[in-house]
Amino acid sequence: MADQPDGIVLRRHRDLVGRHWQVWLRRVLVGVVALVALLALFGFMGQTPSTTSATAAPATLSISAPSTVRGGLLYQARFTIRAHRPLKDATLVLNRGWFDGLTIDTIEPSPLNQGSRNGAVVFELGHVPAGSKYVLYIEYQVNPTTVSSRTLTATLEDGPRRLLSLSRHFRILP
Amino acid sequence: MDIVLRAAFAFTFIFFLTRVAGRRELSSLEPFDLILLIVLGDLVQQGVTQSDYSVTGLVLAAGTIALMQIGASYLSFRFNRLRPLLQGEPIVLVDDGRVLEANLQRERLTLHELQEQARLSQIDSLDKVRWAVLETSGQISFIPKN
């Protein structure tokens, strides 16, 4: 009878000579998988909404939306306008980053009017009395094939007058 | 093109996961493992084809995965040095009736599991085993003493 089965090298397969590093490699790789899950728990893999605000004398604009999303994800962006003075003709101008590669499921409430200005989308919201709050919801779904990193800009105007502008970084993971 | 890249990534990631998970986890098919396997398949499918329901999408995704599988097996066949990386290596668990505890621990195997596998091979005692080898497939082969 042979000392060991064919194909078995005792030093390598029984005594594990030269194979001790493999266990550590496996542990490190398991650690990498765990780290990715941990990062996701802390919101680094997208979907967690964050709020950014900009204030000017007539109004404050706050945007609450995820800054990182993934392909196919449903999410919401909430635009809150707090008028410190009456806004006769509040207008929100969103650059193309808010729309490229994204499906708009709905916009609530519907703006009084919509248009395009140099590639940006213009929402005319109408009168916002002083001290009141106007909230606009946009419900999105990311087109599954979209992968991107971009800057989103939202500008609040009152008629022809530009009041404030707000920028956010936005990432779409595959 | 996108779906080919997704399928290639899915193949690579699952390959990586299976190598990291260890052999025993993958070779056993308890009811829980079976359900887990189906759930994993569904998750992978969503990531690869997403909302593409077309036959073209099926051909691209399945074709890419099949090609990568053929490629991996060819590399393993052609290059000896890559074989341990791609397929793993066998580990001796029992040598002439002596259980090698360190090797069991390395593969997260208990003595009870080893004894269970021996019983499934109609071996009532590990004392009667000349060699027990954890194969790259995750199966344990037993060679009884004469």
Tracing tokens 């248009």 back to the chain, one arrives at: A115
Closest to A29 (Cα-Cα) out of B72, B10, B18, B139: B18
Specify whether domain A49-173 bears CATH 2.60.40.10.
yes
Residues of B in contact with A144 (CB under 8 A): 50-52
- ipTM for the complex shown: 0.71
Residues of B in contact with A14 (CB under 8 A): 91-92, 95, 100, 103
What count of other Cβ atoms lies within 10 Å of the Cβ of residue B107? Answer: 18
The β-bridge partners of A75 are A140
**Grouped pLDDT means (10 residues each) for chain B, 146 residues:** 90 87 66 85 87 87 94 91 85 93 89 92 93 90 89
Q: How far is B48 from chain A (nearest CA, A)?
A: 10
| CA B47 – CA A46 distance, rounded (Å) | 16
The Cα-based distances of B56 to A57, B2, B11, B61 in angstroms read 56, 12, 19, 9
- Check: CB of residue A105 under 8 Å from CB of residue A143: no
Closest to B134 (Cα-Cα) out of B25, B6, B35: B25
Average pLDDT over chain A, rounded to an integer: 92
Confidence of residue A26 (pLDDT cuts 50, 70, 90): confident
Would you list the DSSP string of A124-156?
Answer: EEEEE-TT-EEEEEEEEEE-TT--EEEEEEEEE
| CA B96 – CA A121 distance, rounded (Å) | 78
Residues of B in contact with A29 (CB under 8 A): 16, 19-20
Contact at CB, B89 and A30, closer than 8 angstroms: no
- Check: CB of residue A133 under 8 Å from CB of residue A109: no
| CA A129 – CA A148 distance, rounded (Å) | 38
Residue ranges covered by each domain of chain A: 10-41, 49-173
The pLDDT value recorded for residue A109 is 95
The pLDDT value recorded for residue B107 is 86
The tens digit of pLDDT for each residue in A40-98 reads 888 888 888 999 999 999 999 999 999 999 988 999 999 999 999 999 999 999 999 99
- Check: CB of residue A13 under 8 Å from CB of residue B90: yes
Residue A1: pLDDT over 60: no
Residue A101: pLDDT over 80: yes
The tens digit of pLDDT for each residue in A147-168 reads 999 999 999 999 999 999 999 9
Residue A9: pLDDT over 90: no
Please give the structure tokens belonging to residue A44: 């680094």
Question: Please, what are the domains in chain B?
Answer: 2-87 (no CATH), 91-144 (3.30.240.20)
Residues of chain A with a CB closer than 8 angstroms to some CB in chain B: 1, 4-5, 7-8, 10, 12-14, 16, 19, 23, 26, 29-30, 33, 71-72, 144-145, 174
Say what the pTM is. 0.75
Residue of chain B whose alpha carbon sits nearest to that of A28: B20
The pLDDT value recorded for residue B26 is 58
The Cα-based distances of A73 to A119, A148, B50 in angstroms read 25, 14, 11
The β-bridge partners of A60 are A55, A82
Question: Terminal CA-to-CA distance of chain B, rounded, Å?
Answer: 58
| CA B18 – CA A92 distance, rounded (Å) | 50
Confidence of residue A18 (pLDDT cuts 50, 70, 90): confident
